[in-house]
Structure 1
Amino acid sequence: MAMEKHFIQEGVIRSEIENYLKEEVSRAGYSGINIQKTPLATRIILYVENPPLVIGKKGRRIKGLTEHLKNLYNVENPVVDVQKIEKPTLDPNIIARRIALALERGMHRRRVAYKALRAVMESRARGVEIVLSGKIVGKGGRSRVEKYSEGYMKKAGDSLKLVQMGSTQAYLKAGVIGVTVKIVLPETKFPDQISVIEASKPQEPEPEDVKPEKKSKKKTAKKTKKKSETKKKAEAEEKDESASEKPLQET
């Protein structure tokens, strides 16, 4: 039981740290964290869209975050490492946060959802699904669920582990709206997908051309015959001319 309590406490502390950093670093485009414990320190990798907002001027803000984590959550020697997300349009947490901020500003839900769909699909994602749930219509309206999807998406089974998912909340005057985003990344390969490759046909050996050689021999023989005939004709004409010239000389 002691080991189980230890793991439960670690899970609780992890969730509290994640919620704290999510609120503190929301403007920088929070995506997630990864906690790695070593004998020397506890490394907390923070994935954000805009790292300079987390670091602050001369590293003041990141120092304040490390001190706060050490004092509140009793983290031993915390080291916060900030890393930038290369493709924020393929991160479901960032897309969900963008949708929530747009809804809080008063933009229409369908316009926001379709804009997010286009941005994700332009990044060559295989599929995306956006779910809005809550009092979407306004005051006095019933809570409802709206889904916007495009591309290929898995709904059930073990393949759901390959689907990236993020969620957040948008706080409006009418109530709270839940925003859930699911994205299938371009390099994702599902086990039920089979690609059929056509077998290449074996190349047949070309038959040896025997007949054309005979034709060429015949042609060369004909040419030699014609040449010999022309020579004979020329010699005969020369003899006739010489014979005709001799009687003229005698006269």
Structure 2
Amino acid sequence: MEEKKFVKFKQDELGIKEYVKRNLGKGRISDVTIEYTPVGEKIIVATNRPGLVIGRKGEKIDELTDVLKRKFKLDNPHIDIKEITNEALDAQLVADSVAIQLERKGSLKFKIIAYKALESIMRAGALGTEIKLSGKLPSERAKTWRFAQGYLKKTGEPSKVVNKAMAQATTPMGVVGIKVNILANVAVEIPKKKSRKKSEAKK
């Protein structure tokens, strides 16, 4: 019984997060976390557009708070806004941005969209990044395209600080899956390439 309650609790929590993201707009929300306190529920929304999320005089926050009470039966939800100052280093915002551009410009321009995203990430100070697009790009057969730049460790300690995210784009050719990995400029030791010494020729 306790296991069923826990599963139901997690499903409800996921529903709240998805509703908040959908309600506040794709491409604006990086993450939604929920903290439970003695006085109520604290909903922390990480966004690059705090003004648009809050709305005029906080009207959007008030509307969302009311829905969380009525639809999701939260006792006393309180919404906190966490501003993301460098959206180019946030994997979720980048993934959503790529998805929006694919839907607007079409999947035929996927290479231009991906390379522009790479450049933006590296200009923002990332050590390395990787973008993977999976779907019918641009042929009838599904395929995965990989775009990468810089240093990106996938195993060991450096891999733990890699910011990862996924998104989907719905195009006329079908659904395109998007994966973004970003290694920000943190305290990570980048291994130096060993130079090969030329062997002396025997006389």
Category of TM-score, reference length = shorter chain: 0.7 to 0.9
Q: Which has the higher contact order (CA 8 A, sep 6+)?
A: 2
How far apart, in 2, do the equivalents of 1:165 and 1:84 lie?
19
Q: Does 1:104 align with 2:109?
A: no
What CA RMSD, in Å, does the superposition of the two structures yield over aligned residues?
Answer: 1.9
Q: Does 1:173 align with 2:163?
A: no
| Contact 1:28/1:53 (<8 A) preserved | no
Structure whose alpha-carbon radius of gyration is higher: 1
1:160-207 CA distance string (max 9 Å, x none): 3321111111111110101110001111436xx679xxxxxxxxxxxx
Evaluate the alpha carbon distance shift between residue 186 and residue 120 of structure 1 in structure 2; reply closer, same or farther with a 3 A threshold: same
Evaluate the alpha carbon distance shift between residue 145 and residue 82 of structure 1 in structure 2; reply closer, same or farther with a 3 A threshold: same
How far apart, in 2, do the equivalents of 1:37 and 1:162 lie?
26
* Counterpart secondary structure, 1:105: helix
| Contact 2:27/2:100 (<8 A) preserved | no
Larger strand fraction of residues: 2
1:158 CA drift (Å): 6.3
How far apart, in 2, do the equivalents of 1:124 and 1:98 lie?
18
In structure 2, what is the equivalent of residue 69 of structure 1? 68
1:61 CA drift (Å): 1.2
How far apart, in 2, do the equivalents of 1:14 and 1:182 lie?
25
* Counterpart secondary structure, 1:118: helix
| Contact 2:136/2:176 (<8 A) preserved | yes
How far apart, in 1, do the equivalents of 2:127 and 2:37 lie?
37
Structure 1 regions of 5+ residues with no counterpart?
196-251
Query: Following superposition of structure 1 onto structure 2, how do residues 150-165 of structure 1 map, counting pairs within 5 Å?
Result: 150-156=149-155, 159-165=158-164
In structure 2, what is the equivalent of residue 41 of structure 1? 40
How far apart, in 2, do the equivalents of 1:64 and 1:189 lie?
43
Larger helix fraction of residues: 1
Evaluate the alpha carbon distance shift between residue 33 and residue 157 of structure 1 in structure 2; reply closer, same or farther with a 3 A threshold: same
| Contact 1:28/1:50 (<8 A) preserved | no
Moved more, 51-60 or 128-137: 51-60
Identity percentage of aligned residues? 34
1:18-38 CA distance string (max 9 Å, x none): 111121122561100121111
Evaluate the alpha carbon distance shift between residue 94 and residue 188 of structure 1 in structure 2; reply closer, same or farther with a 3 A threshold: farther
In structure 1, what is the equivalent of residue 50 of structure 2? 51
| Contact 1:132/1:178 (<8 A) preserved | yes
The amino acid that maps onto 1:52 is: G
TM-score (normalised: structure 2): 0.86
